[in-house]
A and B are shown apart, each in its own frame.
Chain A
Amino acid sequence: MNIVIRHLSKAFGEKVLWKDLNLVIPEKGCSVLMGASGCGKTTLLRILMGLEEEDEGEILESQRIRQCRKCVVFQEDRLCEGISAVDNVLAVLPGRTDREMIRRDLEKTGLCRPFEEPVRNYSGGMKRRVAVVRACMAEGELVLMDEPLRGLDRESREKTAGYIREKTKGRTLIITSHDQEDAGLLGGKVIRLDGRS
Chain B
Amino acid sequence: MREILKRMSAVFAVLILWQMAAFFVKSSILLCGPLDVLKRLCTIWKEPYFAAAIFFTLRRVAEGFFLGLLLGAILAFLAGKWSPVRIFLWPLMAAVKAVPVAAIVVICLIWLSGRNLSVFLSFLVVCPVVYQNLLTGIDSLDPGMEEVAVVFCMTPVRRFRFIRLPQLFPYFTAACKVTSGMAWKAGIAAEIIATPAGSIGKQMYLAKTYLQSEDLLSWAVIIVALSMISEKLLMGILRKASERLGGG
Q: Are A72 and B145 in contact (CB under 8 A)?
A: no
A168 within 8 Å of B by Cβ? no
* Interface residues on chain B, number (Cβ under 8 Å): 21
Please indicate the chain B residues that have their CB under 8 angstroms from the CB of A53 in the complex: none
Q: Are B247 and A92 in contact (CB under 8 A)?
A: no
* Contact bitstring B139-170, A, C-beta under 8 A = 1, else 0: 00000110110111110001001110011010
Known: A74-B144, A74-B147, A74-B148. A82 touches B153 (CB 8 A): no
Contact of A76 among B144, B153, B154 (CB under 8 A): B144
Please indicate the chain A residues that have their CB under 8 angstroms from the CB of B150 in the complex: 50-51
Known: A83-B162, A84-B247, A84-B248. A78 touches B145 (CB 8 A): yes
Please measure, in the bound complex, the distance between the C-alpha atom of A69 and the C-alpha atom of B155, giving whole angstroms: 13
* Contact bitstring A86-102, B, C-beta under 8 A = 1, else 0: 11101110000001000
Please measure, in the bound complex, the distance between the C-alpha atom of A7 and the C-alpha atom of B49, giving whole angstroms: 85
Please indicate the chain A residues that have their CB under 8 angstroms from the CB of B91 in the complex: none
* Interface residues on chain A, number (Cβ under 8 Å): 26
* Contact bitstring A136-157, B, C-beta under 8 A = 1, else 0: 0010000000000000000000
Q: Is the interface of B mostly helix, strand, loop or mixed?
A: helix
B245 within 8 Å of A by Cβ? yes
Q: Which of B76-112 contact A (CB under 8 A)?
A: none
Q: Which of A77-132 contact B (CB under 8 A)?
A: 78, 80-84, 86-88, 90-92, 99, 116-118
Q: Are A80 and B152 in contact (CB under 8 A)?
A: no
Q: Are B245 and A83 in contact (CB under 8 A)?
A: yes
Please indicate the chain B residues that have their CB under 8 angstroms from the CB of A116 in the complex: 247-248
Contact of B163 among A86, A91, A138 (CB under 8 A): A91
Please indicate the chain B residues that have their CB under 8 angstroms from the CB of A50 in the complex: 150-151
Q: Is the interface of A mostly helix, strand, loop or mixed?
A: loop
Q: Are A80 and B145 in contact (CB under 8 A)?
A: yes
A34 within 8 Å of B by Cβ? no
A49 within 8 Å of B by Cβ? yes
Q: Are A84 and B246 in contact (CB under 8 A)?
A: yes
Q: Say how far A60's CB is from chain B's closest CB, in angstroms.
A: 21
Please indicate the chain B residues that have their CB under 8 angstroms from the CB of A74 in the complex: 144, 147-148
Q: Which of A47-86 contact B (CB under 8 A)?
A: 49-51, 69-72, 74, 76, 78, 80-84, 86
Closest A residue to B142 by beta carbon equals A78
Q: Are B166 and A82 in contact (CB under 8 A)?
A: yes
Q: Are A92 and B163 in contact (CB under 8 A)?
A: no
Please indicate the chain A residues that have their CB under 8 angstroms from the CB of B161 in the complex: 91
Please indicate the chain B residues that have their CB under 8 angstroms from the CB of A90 in the complex: 162, 248
Given A74-B148, A138-B152, 15 extra CB contacts under 8 A: A51-B150, A69-B153, A70-B152, A72-B152, A82-B166, A82-B167, A82-B242, A83-B162, A83-B245, A84-B246, A84-B248, A86-B248, A91-B162, A117-B246, A117-B247
Q: What are 8 inter-chain pairs, A to B, with CB distance below 8 A?
A: A69-B152, A74-B144, A78-B145, A80-B167, A82-B242, A82-B245, A83-B248, A117-B246
Name the 6 nearest CB pairs between A and B, nearest first: A91-B162, A82-B166, A92-B152, A87-B248, A84-B248, A118-B246
